[in-house]
Homo-oligomer: A and B are copies of this chain.
Amino acid sequence: MTEQQSKTEHVAEEEKKLTIVLFSGDLDRALAAFMIAATAASMAIEVTMFFTFWGLNVIKKNNGKIKAKGFMRKMFAWLNKGGTKRLKLSKFNMLGMGTAMIKKLMRGMKMPSLDQLIDMSHRMGVKMYACSTTCGLMGLDAGNFRDEVEPEIVGAAFFLGEAVESKSTLFIS
Protein backbone atom coordinates (compact mmCIF):
# COMPACT_ATOMS: atom_id res chain seq x y z
CA MET A 1 0.00 0.00 0.00
CA THR A 2 1.46 3.36 -1.02
CA GLU A 3 1.31 6.44 1.14
CA GLN A 4 -1.30 7.87 -1.20
CA GLN A 5 -3.56 4.84 -0.82
CA SER A 6 -3.22 4.94 2.93
CA LYS A 7 -4.07 8.65 2.84
CA THR A 8 -7.17 8.06 0.75
CA GLU A 9 -8.35 5.34 3.08
CA HIS A 10 -7.81 7.55 6.08
CA VAL A 11 -10.02 10.22 4.54
CA ALA A 12 -12.67 7.70 3.56
CA GLU A 13 -12.79 6.39 7.11
CA GLU A 14 -12.91 9.85 8.60
CA GLU A 15 -15.88 10.65 6.37
CA LYS A 16 -17.71 7.92 8.18
CA LYS A 17 -17.40 9.36 11.67
CA LEU A 18 -19.73 11.71 13.53
CA THR A 19 -19.36 13.12 17.05
CA ILE A 20 -22.32 14.59 18.92
CA VAL A 21 -22.11 16.56 22.17
CA LEU A 22 -25.46 16.69 23.95
CA PHE A 23 -25.33 19.56 26.45
CA SER A 24 -29.11 19.89 26.77
CA GLY A 25 -31.49 17.85 28.90
CA ASP A 26 -34.58 18.89 26.93
CA LEU A 27 -36.72 16.15 25.40
CA ASP A 28 -36.87 17.77 21.96
CA ARG A 29 -33.09 18.22 21.74
CA ALA A 30 -32.46 14.69 23.02
CA LEU A 31 -34.85 13.33 20.36
CA ALA A 32 -33.02 15.28 17.64
CA ALA A 33 -29.63 14.01 18.88
CA PHE A 34 -30.74 10.36 18.90
CA MET A 35 -32.64 10.55 15.61
CA ILE A 36 -29.44 11.82 14.00
CA ALA A 37 -27.30 9.22 15.82
CA ALA A 38 -29.55 6.27 14.93
CA THR A 39 -29.89 7.37 11.31
CA ALA A 40 -26.13 7.88 11.00
CA ALA A 41 -25.46 4.42 12.47
CA SER A 42 -27.89 2.91 9.95
CA MET A 43 -25.81 4.59 7.20
CA ALA A 44 -22.64 2.89 8.53
CA ILE A 45 -21.36 6.15 10.01
CA GLU A 46 -19.45 5.59 13.27
CA VAL A 47 -21.07 7.70 15.99
CA THR A 48 -19.69 8.87 19.34
CA MET A 49 -21.94 10.80 21.73
CA PHE A 50 -20.81 12.85 24.72
CA PHE A 51 -23.24 13.90 27.40
CA THR A 52 -22.32 16.91 29.44
CA PHE A 53 -24.09 19.25 31.91
CA TRP A 54 -27.88 18.90 31.58
CA GLY A 55 -27.33 16.32 28.84
CA LEU A 56 -26.41 13.80 31.55
CA ASN A 57 -30.11 13.80 32.51
CA VAL A 58 -30.85 12.04 29.23
CA ILE A 59 -28.70 9.03 30.09
CA LYS A 60 -29.47 8.79 33.82
CA LYS A 61 -31.34 5.67 34.86
CA ASN A 62 -35.06 6.11 35.14
CA ASN A 63 -36.01 5.78 38.82
CA GLY A 64 -32.32 5.54 39.75
CA LYS A 65 -31.21 7.01 43.06
CA ILE A 66 -28.30 9.41 43.25
CA LYS A 67 -26.26 9.18 46.43
CA ALA A 68 -24.53 12.53 46.13
CA LYS A 69 -22.31 13.67 49.00
CA GLY A 70 -22.78 17.05 50.61
CA PHE A 71 -25.88 19.19 51.12
CA MET A 72 -25.55 21.18 47.87
CA ARG A 73 -25.05 18.15 45.66
CA LYS A 74 -27.99 16.38 47.35
CA MET A 75 -30.23 19.39 46.75
CA PHE A 76 -29.04 19.64 43.18
CA ALA A 77 -29.57 15.92 42.57
CA TRP A 78 -33.11 16.25 43.90
CA LEU A 79 -33.93 19.23 41.67
CA ASN A 80 -32.22 17.71 38.67
CA LYS A 81 -33.29 14.06 38.82
CA GLY A 82 -33.20 13.23 35.14
CA GLY A 83 -33.98 10.00 33.31
CA THR A 84 -35.81 9.92 29.97
CA LYS A 85 -39.24 9.79 31.66
CA ARG A 86 -38.69 13.18 33.30
CA LEU A 87 -37.40 15.15 30.31
CA LYS A 88 -39.54 18.05 29.13
CA LEU A 89 -39.94 19.97 25.90
CA SER A 90 -37.86 23.16 25.79
CA LYS A 91 -41.02 25.02 24.70
CA PHE A 92 -44.72 24.48 25.29
CA ASN A 93 -44.12 22.09 28.18
CA MET A 94 -47.21 23.70 29.77
CA LEU A 95 -46.86 21.90 33.11
CA GLY A 96 -46.26 18.65 31.26
CA MET A 97 -49.30 18.84 28.95
CA GLY A 98 -47.31 19.82 25.84
CA THR A 99 -44.73 17.14 26.53
CA ALA A 100 -47.40 14.46 26.98
CA MET A 101 -49.09 15.64 23.76
CA ILE A 102 -45.90 15.30 21.70
CA LYS A 103 -45.24 11.82 23.12
CA LYS A 104 -48.80 10.81 22.23
CA LEU A 105 -48.46 12.20 18.70
CA MET A 106 -45.20 10.26 18.31
CA ARG A 107 -46.85 7.01 19.44
CA GLY A 108 -49.78 7.67 17.09
CA MET A 109 -47.34 7.97 14.19
CA LYS A 110 -45.50 4.79 15.26
CA MET A 111 -42.37 6.84 15.78
CA PRO A 112 -39.81 5.31 18.16
CA SER A 113 -39.78 6.78 21.67
CA LEU A 114 -36.58 8.27 23.12
CA ASP A 115 -35.98 5.04 25.07
CA GLN A 116 -36.32 3.02 21.88
CA LEU A 117 -34.00 5.39 20.00
CA ILE A 118 -31.35 5.04 22.73
CA ASP A 119 -31.67 1.24 22.62
CA MET A 120 -31.56 1.17 18.80
CA SER A 121 -28.54 3.48 18.70
CA HIS A 122 -26.71 1.30 21.19
CA ARG A 123 -27.48 -1.89 19.28
CA MET A 124 -26.19 -0.29 16.08
CA GLY A 125 -22.89 0.55 17.76
CA VAL A 126 -23.30 4.20 18.80
CA LYS A 127 -20.91 4.84 21.71
CA MET A 128 -22.25 7.01 24.56
CA TYR A 129 -19.96 8.65 27.10
CA ALA A 130 -20.61 10.74 30.21
CA CYS A 131 -18.42 13.80 30.83
CA SER A 132 -16.12 13.45 33.83
CA THR A 133 -16.12 17.13 34.81
CA THR A 134 -19.90 17.32 35.09
CA CYS A 135 -20.01 13.95 36.88
CA GLY A 136 -17.53 15.30 39.44
CA LEU A 137 -19.52 18.50 39.87
CA MET A 138 -22.84 16.73 40.31
CA GLY A 139 -21.55 13.74 42.28
CA LEU A 140 -22.42 11.16 39.60
CA ASP A 141 -20.60 7.98 38.65
CA ALA A 142 -20.99 5.20 36.07
CA GLY A 143 -23.60 3.49 38.26
CA ASN A 144 -26.03 6.37 37.72
CA PHE A 145 -26.25 5.81 33.98
CA ARG A 146 -28.24 3.46 31.76
CA ASP A 147 -26.73 0.21 30.57
CA GLU A 148 -26.33 1.59 27.04
CA VAL A 149 -23.70 4.08 28.30
CA GLU A 150 -20.00 3.12 28.22
CA PRO A 151 -18.64 2.43 31.71
CA GLU A 152 -15.67 4.81 31.32
CA ILE A 153 -16.34 8.40 32.31
CA VAL A 154 -14.27 10.58 29.99
CA GLY A 155 -13.00 14.16 29.81
CA ALA A 156 -12.85 16.94 27.23
CA ALA A 157 -9.53 15.59 25.86
CA PHE A 158 -11.21 12.32 24.90
CA PHE A 159 -14.04 14.22 23.18
CA LEU A 160 -11.54 16.38 21.28
CA GLY A 161 -9.64 13.26 20.19
CA GLU A 162 -12.89 11.95 18.70
CA ALA A 163 -13.78 15.29 17.12
CA VAL A 164 -10.40 15.49 15.40
CA GLU A 165 -11.10 12.13 13.75
CA SER A 166 -14.69 13.01 12.78
CA LYS A 167 -16.08 14.40 9.60
CA SER A 168 -18.73 16.36 11.52
CA THR A 169 -19.08 17.35 15.14
CA LEU A 170 -22.42 18.68 16.38
CA PHE A 171 -22.79 20.59 19.64
CA ILE A 172 -26.45 20.37 20.69
CA SER A 173 -26.96 22.91 23.48
Against B, the Cβ 8 Å flags (1 = close, 0 = not) of A85-114 are 000001110000010011011101101000
| Interface SS majority for chain A | helix
Check if A81 is an interface residue, CB within 8 A of chain B.
Answer: no
Decide: B15 and A164 in contact? CB cutoff 8 A: yes
In the complex, A109→B135 CA distance in Å?
12
Check if A62 is an interface residue, CB within 8 A of chain B.
Answer: no
Against B, the Cβ 8 Å flags (1 = close, 0 = not) of A157-173 are 10111011011111111
Check if A23 is an interface residue, CB within 8 A of chain B.
Answer: yes
New contact pairs (9) apart from A73-B105, A163-B168, A169-B169, CB-CB < 8 Å: A3-B4, A23-B28, A24-B173, A36-B159, A36-B160, A40-B156, A43-B157, A105-B137, A173-B173
Q: Which 7 A-B pairs have CB atoms at the shortest separation, nearest pair first? A: A39-B156, A170-B171, A168-B169, A163-B168, A72-B101, A172-B173, A40-B160
6 A/B residue pairs, CB under 8 Å, sorted by A: A7-B7, A15-B164, A28-B54, A70-B108, A109-B137, A172-B173
